[in-house]
Chains A and B, each alone.
Chain A
Amino acid sequence: MFTYILKRLLILPLLMFVFSVVAFILIQAPPGDFVTSYVAELAASGSAMDQRQIEALRELYGLDQPAYIQYFKWVSRLLVGDMGFSLDFQKPISELIGQRLLLTVILGLATLLFTFAVALPIGIISATRQYSFFDYFFTVLNYIGIATPTFMTALILMWLAFSNFGITITGLFSPEFANAPWSFARVVDLSQHLWLPMVILGLDGTARLARILRANLLDELNKPYMEMARAKGMSEWALVIKYPVRLAINPLVSSLGWYLPLIFSGSLIVATVLNLPTIGPLLLRSLISQDMFLAGTIVLTYFGLAVIGTLLSDIFLAWLDPRIRMEAA
């Protein structure tokens, strides 16, 4: 178990290096740079910059240097914990990302918990009562859940809430807490706002997981160990939970690896629609203004979350399944 975790930890730096190159190439890919879009923005608002000012600005930000030198400067600063400076916001990036990252992770984990808490019982009951009314009901609901884009669900719910109850359901805080320092009251306020984006973000994943669990469980329910457990005199529910569910859940745990990053990054559009203070909307803004260091740091943060998510799911899976522990040792 220990060597298994160690092996995975040792790959981490290599993965992060590869990801940092990819992230840098991605943010360098669009034509032009921050100064180009800044000039365009100025032009749009009626003012202009002369060529010398533009060149001075490029020199100031190091944008006149070759790409690989820019990359090494960026990465070496990241290595010592300096995320750099947002050209657009004129603020240190760590300051911009800090709290948003925390809220992103909180929302992501809440969504994950919601997904499993809802998908597990639905999947189990759909499989054990196959072709019952319950099974068909959730099959239909699940397909609707999978087929509806999450931002669409968000828009519909916002509209329903506003037109019927006159409330706006955007953001993660009430106005008075939006910029307040952390306090117990602020946490309570957050928990009151968190559930809606959590449900919206979780619907798609819940539907998928319930379908996967149902299919896995149906495979397990006819295995001879079920018969053996019955022949031992176990009650039906106790044995369903102890044996087939335990085995059917393993593929779900390994899906955490891709599901967790999907929740983090997939929340971009929903977060923008719902005006959530997570890093999603910040990434969108930074991409539009070609604020390359901000965008690069956010993309790399997503990669980091994905890697951590995969690592956690690997460890969890090894803890659950002795066969995997054995293979890895």
Chain B
Amino acid sequence: MSESGKNEIDTPERPILSVRGLKTRFVLDEGIAIAVDGVSFDVGVGKVVGIVGESGCGKSVTIKSILGIVQKPGEVTDGEILFAQAGNSGGADADYVDLAKLDNRGKKMRAIRGNEIALIPQEPMASLSPVHTIGNQLVEAVRLHRDVSVSEAEQIAIKSMTEVGMPNPAERMSMYSWELSGGLRQRVMIAMALVCSPRLLIADEPTTAIDVTTQAQVLNVLRSLQKDRGLSIIFITHDLGVIAQIADVVVVMYLGRVMETGPVDDIFHNPLHPYTKALLSSIPSIHGTSRGPLPTIEGTIPHPFNRPKGCPFYPRCGAFMPGKCDQSTPRLTASNPAQSVSCFLHNDEAEPA
């Protein structure tokens, strides 16, 4: 498997994670919902990839698929999730393992989850057990992957909490999640994610549930971790402001598909896809003189069961070309060396019908 992986990845900078043509669907009584429909992106070593999109665009399902924690009736049906093998953190001679082929509940996958790839969840309050102490849950995270005694694990946990700027870390060990403030809770989650020194960190909207001041602190913690440890991060958010602050590369998703991807500066200054443009124009500006209403994107995301034929965005798109966009689906194609876009305005490549 690693052999073939070697052959397939031939970009000069070998990524730590390469997602290719990922498809995840949910088989429900009402029908089949395709939550992730052929998503591809790379995460470079030491880079922060920001995935943006409205609610329900498949961001969370994408990262759950990477972690192998999609629950029934959901399943990954197609695609590759190539992860650089332990021992080499990407780089020129990286060996890859295809996570999509591993048994989700099997030992191999569990040895990667929480150890090599760690998750910072969306809701720290709900993600911590209210009846177990912070220390108990941190020690558990250590001991799942490291063969150490409880007291050694406690030391590792306290060290990890110190690193994320938790005040009085030793005292917090015997506290419960509901005795902490929102910002501290999120720090506990980050400390828990870092406790086994993962190579890839996945942050699922880590700043949604907390106020703006704390948000800035959490972003600072993540940014310094990325700098100091060369950590690779996938950062999911619907907040473009946060993306501008933290991401190196942006992946714009809509209805389970990648609309556009490229370096953060290009995406913000030279957006190609009409959806990216619409997202950017709906950011409130501090310099704006207009007292008019904030521009919004017309309409709502279609229900996954009523997925439009062709480009998923055409019903809401200002540049809709009848007979083209509603007939075939544009393929994600490089538009310049750094930027790729799936839109018929920029190239004619379509997905095979």
Contact = CB atoms under 8 A, between A and B. Distances in A.
A96 B68 CA distance: 65
Contact of B113 (A231, A243, A323): A231
Contacts of A224: 121-123, 126-127
A233 B127 contact: no
* B contact residues, range: 20 to 34
Contacts of B122: 224
The A interface is mostly helix, strand or loop, or mixed, namely helix
A321 interface: yes
A42 interface: no
Contacts of B118: 231
Given A233-B110, A233-B111, A322-B176, A227 B127 contact: yes
Given A233-B144, A234-B110, A321-B131, A223 B69 contact: no
A225 interface: yes
A137 to B, nearest CB: 20
Contacts of A320: 131
A316 B105 CA distance: 34
Contacts of A65: none
Contacts of B140: 232, 234
A50 interface: no
B115 interface: yes
B110 A223 contact: no
B119 A228 contact: yes
A191 to B, nearest CB: 35
B114 interface: yes
Contacts of B126: 223-225
A231 B105 CA distance: 11
A106 to B, nearest CB: 32
Contact of B119 (A231, A243, A246, A323): A231
Contact of A323 (B69, B128, B131, B192): B131
B156 to A, nearest CB: 14
A247 interface: yes
Contact of B141 (A223, A232, A250): A232
A247 B114 contact: no
B131 A227 contact: no
A230 interface: yes
A258 to B, nearest CB: 23
Interface residues of A, number: 22
Interface string B68-97: 010000000000000000000000000000
B130 interface: yes
B29 to A, nearest CB: 11
A238 to B, nearest CB: 9
A234 B144 contact: yes
B69 A227 contact: yes
Contacts of B141: 232
Interface in A188-225: 223-225
Contact of B121 (A231, A234, A321): A231
A229 B58 CA distance: 22
Q: Which of B111, B132, B189 has the most CB of A within 10 A?
A: B132
B320 interface: no
A228 B186 CA distance: 13
Contact of B131 (A230, A234, A235, A322): A322
A235 B129 contact: no
B194 interface: no
Contacts of A247: 129-131
A236 interface: yes
Interface in B107-148: 110-115, 118-119, 121-123, 126-133, 140-141, 144-145
Given A231-B119, A322-B176, A236 B111 contact: no
A230 B123 CA distance: 15
B268 interface: no
Nearest to A233: B114
Given A223-B126, A247-B131, A230 B111 contact: no
B68 to A, nearest CB: 8
Contacts of B112: 233
A242 B131 CA distance: 10
A243 B129 contact: yes
A83 to B, nearest CB: 43
A237 B113 CA distance: 16
A228 B144 contact: no
Contacts of A232: 113-114, 140-141, 144, 192
B118 to A, nearest CB: 7
A35 B72 CA distance: 71
Contacts of A242: 132
Interface in A234-285: 234-236, 242-243, 246-247, 250
A134 to B, nearest CB: 16
Contacts of B110: 233-235
Given A232-B140, A321-B131, A323-B178, A227 B121 contact: yes
Contacts of B255: none
A246 B131 contact: yes
Contact of A228 (B115, B128, B130): B128
A210 B273 CA distance: 54
B36 interface: no
B191 interface: no
Contacts of A235: 105, 110
Contacts of B176: 322-323, 326
A128 to B, nearest CB: 11
5 closest A-B pairs (Cβ-Cβ)?
A: A233-B114, A232-B114, A231-B119, A233-B113, A228-B127
11 contacts: A224-B127, A225-B127, A225-B128, A227-B121, A230-B69, A232-B140, A233-B145, A234-B114, A236-B105, A320-B131, A326-B176
Given A228-B128, A233-B110, A234-B140, 10 more contacts: A225-B128, A225-B129, A230-B113, A231-B119, A232-B113, A232-B140, A233-B113, A246-B132, A322-B130, A323-B178
Interface of B: 64, 67, 69, 105, 110-115, 118-119, 121-123, 126-133, 140-141, 144-145, 176, 178, 189, 192
Interface of A: 223-225, 227-228, 230-236, 242-243, 246-247, 250, 320-323, 326
